[in-house]
Amino acid sequence: MADETPKLVLVVDDDDGIRELLAILIKKEGYRVETAVDGEDGLQKAEALHPDLMVLDLMLPRYGGFEVLRRLQGGDLARLPIIVVTGRYTDPSTSDLIRQESNVVDLLEKPVKTTRFLLALQRVLKPQVAGGEA
């Protein structure tokens, strides 16, 4: 029988409002969610929890998003898919460089558009039917 445990998404963002919004959206789709407030916290939780997907802000205290990306590319988490979100303007060449990172599956600009985020989430994790009522 297939594993019925909902997939786990780790949201790493220092903005409380965005972190909470993304967590709500992820839970409504039937997935489990953990959050981290900075890059160091995000790396520690990723290593401990082995999430199925990470949503990563680029501008973070205590290890920026680029450093987190690089650290994840070695070891057990090298294949962890990552959706990068950023509030910082990125020119097309910088966006292309981010998208070329081996574990980046999408790049979304803030404010994150709900529909676009949900499409990216579903594309990576595939639609999941909620197991039971909580």
Rounded Cα distance between 18 and 28, Å, is 15
Is it the case that residue 133 has pLDDT exceeding 50? no
In a domain, 110, yes or no: yes
In a domain, 95, yes or no: yes
In a domain, 98, yes or no: yes
In a domain, 1, yes or no: no
Q: What are the φ/ψ torsions at residue 50 (nearest 5 degrees)?
A: 45, 65
Residue 56 banded pLDDT, cuts 50, 70, 90: very high
Q: Which residue has the tokens 């966006």?
A: 95
Three-state SS at 55: strand
CATH code of residue 45: 3.40.50.2300
Rounded Cα distance between 44 and 36, Å, is 9
In a domain, 84, yes or no: yes
Is it the case that residue 7 has pLDDT exceeding 60? yes
In a domain, 2, yes or no: no
In a domain, 3, yes or no: no
Q: Is the pTM value of this prediction over 0.85?
A: yes
Domain that holds residue 103: 8-125
Residue 132 banded pLDDT, cuts 50, 70, 90: very low
Helices (H), 50-113: 65-72, 92-99
